[in-house]
Amino acid sequence: MSPETGIRTERVILQAVIANRLDSIAGEMGLVLERSARSPIFAEACDFACGICNARGELVSQLSGIPILATAGSFSVQAVLERYGDTIADGDAFIVNDPYYGGNHLPDIGIITPVFAGGELLFFCVSRAHHGDIGGSAAGSYNPKATEIFQEGLRIPPLRLVNRGVMVEEVLDLITYNTRNPGMLRSDLLAQTGANRIGRRRLLEMIEQYSAGVVYRTVGEILDQAEKLARERIATLPEGIFTGVELVDDDGFQEEPIRIEARVIKKGDSLTVDFSGTDSQVKGFVNTSIVTTTTAACIAVLWVLGPDVPRNGGAFRAIAVNAPKGSLVNPLPPAPVTLSTLTPAGEVIAAIFKALAAAAPERIPAGFGRYCGPSFYGVDPRTERFYVGFAFCALGSGGAMDGLDGSPYMAPISNYGGVRTPNIESNEVQYPHITLCHEMEPDTAGPGRYRGGPGIRYAIRFYDPKPGIAMFGDGMKIPPYGLKGGEPGSLNRAFLCTREEEIPLQSKESPRQLQPGDSVMLVSSGGGGWGSPLERDPELVLQDVQDGIVSVEAAGRIYGVVIGNSGGDPRVNHFSITSVNR
């Protein structure tokens, strides 16, 4: 073997070996965080992400976490670099949440820990996690009536939280004192710094093994390769400008829907997502910071480019985003933004999917449900402790794809597969309510050759003396879209059930006081269908009827499959196909 090819072989090996190692470090950070955290939304629902960035803030590896946080860590590190530059020291850690300065929305707090080797700044460990409460005028910090970010909670610009190994208690106190559950927030920030510390330790072990120079060079190569792969995949898409539009129901103030337009400009191996045609920023909290807009655009495009393209800073270089200042997708402060990681992040993704459906329909799913549900809060009569929680148990469902029915409970797309919904039993131990039902709802799945996932009916009854709820979400007016002749999924619905009446709830409602014994019922969206329902295999329609996903009536009316129940005994499932009328 010649020395030259020997070096090349060594590089091929190192690239794979170091990439795997970085992934396993990021994975370990995530595991540590998940297992030790307190906020239910973060420990139980896994609304967090852990990653490693290079010294310029480019994401190198991020294994755990929900999709819409994919590039968020990178922006946070860049904000820290911008503010602290050369004063960043070994043993420091930084904190940030301001959507206008490196954050995405206020409840998501980033902790950033620099990693030095031989006096040289090489990496940052970053963890971002959604905390249960960050202050503001609504418990849980989803405030549908906020018109300024100041009503949404505490803004934290990049700040030094740990100074050369010593926690700056004053900063920690200032932050936690401004929230409703200071003890829990404090514990969770410790958990985040702990996870970063473990990431840092592992990176140093790796650097000791391979030397800083080898690691630095190899990480550069890993990012370049990801960019190359992303560009090669982009090059395989047809040339052109593709436009997709998706609407947001409203912002809680204006009645009219809000328009997101994504123009996807594909030229050679470069791809730009241009939001110039998108509406201006709005009064309510459905604006989205540039961080979330960029992430949504990158992950939407990468879903189309393939699961094997690494989700790192290299791949993100291949995707350009143009979001005009003052628009919904890049608002000027102090516009409120808290809902953005759910809506309109999902609708930004949907607009891009719709645009690319013209270029590669077989790779694009039909519409996913949008998040819509209450935050609930009060004092638990069992412990006399304050509590605040979210209804994570009424997620909508996924849209269908070519050859694949949608999956239940996978919405919204911005959180796809990253959120873990709590068990009913854990919820009832934790909160003073009892769950009345949690089951798929018939005739909610968007019909199609491949149908969407069915929505969920979920109801809880409170037994604390003074429960409160606020509603946040979307999708009560605009359903998940169908694709290629598939039909839309169902709308989100919500009701407050008192002893006397059933009151419909809006998707965005201010906190309101309930009476003990009141219950809240949600029926979440089914996903959109793909292809004409008249092309669906009649046997699958029959199975859906047997399974209670599609009614006999809908099978005949929408799918053209007439189904009879031949058995005399109503207790027994005797459905069969009478005729197919297409």
Partner 1 sequence: MYRVAIDTGGTFTDIAAVSESGQMMMLKSPTDRENPAQGIILALAEMAGCWGLDLATFLEETEQIIHGTTLALNALLEGQGSRTALLTTEGFRDALEIRRSRRDNQWDLRAPVPRLLVPRCLRLGVRERLDYRGEVVIPLDREQLEETIARLRAEGVESAAVCFLFSFQNPAHEQAAAEALREALPGVFITTSAEVSPRIREYERTSTVVLNAYLTPVLAAYLNILEEKLAAYGWHRPLYLMLNSGGLTDAGTVKNFAVKTLLSGPAGGAQGGQALAQELQNPDLVVADMGGTSFDVTLVVNGKCRQVPEAELAGHPVTLPMTDIRSIGAGGGSVASVDESGRLMVGPRSAGSVPGPACYGRGGTEPTVTDAALLLGLLNPEGFLGGRLRLDYDRAFAAVRDRVAVPLGLDTAEAALAIYRIAAARMADAIRLVTVQQGLDPRRFALVAAGGAFPLFAGLIAGELEMREAVIPLQGPVFCAWGMLGAARQLDLSRTCLISSDSFDWGTLNALVGDMLVQGNADLHRYGVSGAERETELTLEMKYLDQHHEISINPGELKFGLSSAEKINNAFHERHRELFGYDEPGKPWEIVNVRVVCREKGRDYVYPGLSHLTGDNGVEQYYPTAGSREVMVDPAGWQAVKVYGAAGLPRVVSGSGLPSEAPGPALLEFPYTTVLVPAGFTASLGAQGYISLRRETNNLNNRETNNANKGEEGGQ
* Out of 211, 270, 276, 579, the residue judged to bind partner 1 by CB under 8 A: 211
Task: Specify whether the CB–CB gap between 206 and 21 falls below 8 A.
Answer: yes
The smaller minimum CB distance to partner 1, of residues 40 and 331, is found at 40
Q: Does 372 bind partner 1 (CB under 8 A)?
A: no
Burial grade of 581 (CB within 10 A; 0-12, 13-18, 19 or more): exposed
- # of chain residues touching partner 1 (CB under 8 A): 99
Using CB under 8 A as the binding rule, the residues of this chain from 256 to 295 that contact partner 1 are: none
Whole-angstrom distance, CA of residue 483 vs CA of residue 368: 11
- One residue of 30, 34, 108, 563 binding partner 1 per CB under 8 A: 34
d(CA 231, CA 78): 24
Element (DSSP H or E) covering residue 165: none
Considering the rule CB under 8 A, would residue 126 count as an interface residue with partner 1?
no
Residue 195's nearest CA partner among 418, 70, 31 is 31
Kindly state the smallest distance separating residue 199's Cβ from partner 1, in Å: 10
- The first and second tokens of residue 285, run together, are 């909290």
Distance in Å, CB of 44 to partner 1, minimum: 4
Q: What is the CA radius of gyration of the chain?
A: 25
Task: Pick the stretch among 17-25, 114-122, 279-287, 554-562 that binds partner 1 (CB under 8 A).
Answer: 17-25
84, 150, 210, 495: residue in contact with partner 1 (rule CB under 8 A): 210
When binding is defined by CB under 8 A, the residue of 7, 174, 241, 503 that contacts partner 1 is 7
In 3D space, the residue among 149, 102, 388 whose CA is nearest the CA of residue 285 turns out to be 149
Taking CB under 8 A as the criterion, the residue among 52, 60, 66, 273 binding partner 1 is 66
Residue numbers 415-444 binding partner 1 by CB under 8 A: 416-426, 428-429, 434-440
Q: Specify the stretch interacting with partner 1 by CB under 8 A; choose among 89-97, 140-148, 213-221, 335-343.
A: 213-221
The Cα–Cα gap between 76 and 73 comes to: 5
Question: Going by C-beta distance under 8 Å and a sequence separation of 6 or more, which residues neighbour residue 125?
Answer: 29, 50, 51, 52, 112, 113, 115, 195, 196, 199, 200, 203
Q: Which of 103, 110, 244, 365 contacts partner 1 by CB under 8 A?
A: 365
Q: In whole angstroms, how close is the CB of 538 to partner 1 at the nearest point?
A: 17
67 lines the binding site for partner 1 (CB under 8 A) = yes
Q: Which stretch binds partner 1 (CB under 8 A): 16-24, 84-92, 244-252, 289-297?
A: 16-24
What DSSP character marks residue 278?
Answer: S
Q: Which is nearer to partner 1, 54 or 407 (CB)?
A: 407
Quick one: CA dihedral 94, 148, 340, 371, positive or negative?
positive
Q: Retrieve residue 379's tokens.
A: 């004092």
Which segment (137-145, 189-197, 497-505, 529-537) binds partner 1 by CB under 8 A?
189-197
